[in-house]
Amino acid sequence: MATLSGFELKPILVFGYGNLSRGDDALGPLLLEYIGQQADAVLGSVDILCDFQLQIEHALDLEHRDLVLFADASVACTQAFAFAELSPVRDDSYTTHAMSPAAVLAVYQTIKKQPPPPCFLLSIKGERFELGEGLSVGAQGNLTAACRFAQELLADVDVAAWRQLVSG
């Protein structure tokens, strides 16, 4: 697609997804709100993108990026949050309206015929996902810890440094 003057892409993309009105599903967007309050020195190189869920066209949002951080709620987390590097994977999420970040990377690789930029996933532990609910008590604490960690990440936007921080 054409580019819109005044909408220049920045090298770092932080992509949070979830629904603000569905309990702990709001964790991804709330992490974005926190990052959006950071100093201009941080935000100068960071684009923030929010959506309800991941879809095929989000592969095109990875173009021309040096580093990408996805942020999402997860019921599978055993700790407050987990940090992992992503690889393209053809998983079962292709068959739903909501794709996994690894599946989005696979779409990128297929349509662009090149590997995606380095992408990481910050999963924040969530428990309750009902429409109209706020964050659960547990998720509030998890969000605080994840925000602190994200701040640390954005203070040193270096792939090697991020790889050192991947959860064991």
Partner 1 sequence: MYEHLETAENRDSLKRVVVDPVSRVEGHGKDTLLLDADNKIQQARLHIVEFRGFERFIQGRPYWELPVLVQRLCGICPVSHHLAAAKSIDQLVGVDPENLPVSAEKLRRLLHFGQVLQSHALHFFHLSSPDLLFGFESAIGKRNIIGVLADHPDIAVQGVTLRKYGQEVIRMVSGKRIHGTGAIAGGMNKALSRAERDYLLADIDQIIKWAAVAVALVKKVHCANLPYYDEFATIRSNYLGLVKADGALELYHGGIRASNAAGESIMDHIDYCRYNEFIHEEVRSWTYMKFPYLLALGKENGSYRVGPLARVNLCDFISTPLAEAARVEFKAHSPEAMVHSTLAFHWARLIEALHCAESIKELLHDADLLGGELVAQGEKRYEGIGVIEAPRGTLFHHYQVDENDIVTKANLIVSTTSNNSAMNESVRQVAAEYLSGRELTEPLLNNLEVAIRAYDPCLSCATHAVGKMPLQLELCDAEGTLLDTLIKHSDGNIERI
On whether the CB atoms of residues 106 and 54 are closer than 8 A, the answer is no
Q: Is residue 123 involved in binding partner 1 (CB under 8 A)?
A: yes
Q: Least distance from C-beta 158 to partner 1, angstroms?
A: 27
Under the binding rule (CB under 8 A), the answer on residue 42 touching partner 1 is: no
Within 10 angstroms of residue 51's Cβ, the number of other Cβ atoms is 16
User: Are 45 and 164 contacting, i.e. CB atoms less than 8 angstroms apart?
Assistant: no
Count of residues that interact with partner 1, criterion CB under 8 A: 50
C-alpha span between 129 and 133 (Å, rounded): 7
- Angle at 162 (CA atoms; ends 158, 166), nearest 5 degrees: 170
Told to check if 6 binds partner 1 by CB under 8 A, we report yes
Residue 91 and residue 100: Cα distance in Å, rounded? 8
Q: Judge contact between 52 and 97, C-beta under 8 A.
A: no
**Residue nearer to partner 1 on the CB measure, 56 or 165:** 56
Angle between helices 137-155 and 27-36 (to 10 degrees): 40
- Report if residue 55 touches partner 1, rule: CB under 8 A: yes
Q: If binding is defined by CB under 8 A, does position 64 make contact with partner 1?
A: no
Residue closer to partner 1 (CB basis): 1 or 160: 1
What does the per-residue mask of binding to partner 1 show for 135-154, with x meaning CB under 8 A?
--------------------
Q: Which of 9, 60, 161, 166 binds partner 1 (CB under 8 A)?
A: 60
Instruction: Name the residues that contact partner 1, by CB under 8 A.
Output: 1-6, 17-23, 25, 49-53, 55-57, 59-60, 72-76, 89-98, 100, 106-107, 110-111, 123, 126, 129-132
